[in-house]
């Protein structure tokens, strides 16, 4: 079981790091790659179209500004896609948020907060935990642990 964690630029690595770390905490392999919907469109489409056959279960896609990566992936797979709008540019991520959340009917992209790669990973874990009791237990334990923090 593996999740593709994609980002549009090398400069997005720090913002997307929590996704891979969080998936690893749950024993889920993260295939982290830098792929741009604009600079590497053929590679993006190829990965998305062959993902299911290659053992992927979901995508987490982080991109800023026009944020086309999540939509380009979603257009080419039926696996779940979670978009992470990334901060930067003149609108500090609001442009990416609007781009990520405004997908056309029939091509859904779940969207988390700007720079919310950790929540993107947790959302994928929740989806997988629907049919995986072990993941559901780990998720419940994490929630219980975090409930003991500041209120």
Which tens digits make up the pLDDT trace of 42-96? 999 999 999 999 999 999 999 999 999 999 999 999 999 999 999 998 899 999 9
Sequence-distant (≥ 6) Cβ neighbours of residue 82 within 8 angstroms: 58, 59, 60, 61, 70, 109, 110, 111, 112, 120, 123, 124
Whether residue 151 has pLDDT greater than 60: no
The DSSP string of 120-136 is HHHHHHHHHHTS-HHHH
Q: Rounded to two decimals, what is the model's pTM?
A: 0.95
Which tens digits make up the pLDDT trace of 105-146? 999 999 999 999 999 999 999 999 999 999 999 999 999 998
**Measured between alpha carbons, how far is 122 from 107 in angstroms, rounded to an integer?**
21
> Which neighbouring-strand residues pair with 4?
31, 59
DSSP H or E run through 56: strand 56-64
- How many Cα atoms occupy the beta-carbon half-sphere of 100 within 13 Å? 29
| C-beta separation of 63 from 12 below 8 A | yes
The domains located in the chain, with CATH, are: 2-147 (3.40.50.1970)
Coil, strand, or helix at residue 99?
A: helix
């Amino acid at each position: 079981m593996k999740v593709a964690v994609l980002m549009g630029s090398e400069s997005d690595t720090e913002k997307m790091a929590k996704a891979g770390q969080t998936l690893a905490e749950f024993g889920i392999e993260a295939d982290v790659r830098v792929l741009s919907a604009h600079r590497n469109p053929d590679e993006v489409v190829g990965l998305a179209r062959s993902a299911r056959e290659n053992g992927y279960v979901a995508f987490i896609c982080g991109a800023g500004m026009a944020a086309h990566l999540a939509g380009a992936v979603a257009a080419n797979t039926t696996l779940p896609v979670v978009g992470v709008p990334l901060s930067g540019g003149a609108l500090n991520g609001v442009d990416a948020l609007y781009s990520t959340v405004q997908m056309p009917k029939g091509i859904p992209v779940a969207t988390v907060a700007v720079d919310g790669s950790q929540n993107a990973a947790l959302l994928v874990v929740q989806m997988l935990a629907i049919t995986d009791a072990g993941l559901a237990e780990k998720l419940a334990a994490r929630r219980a642990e975090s409930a003991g923090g500041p209120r």
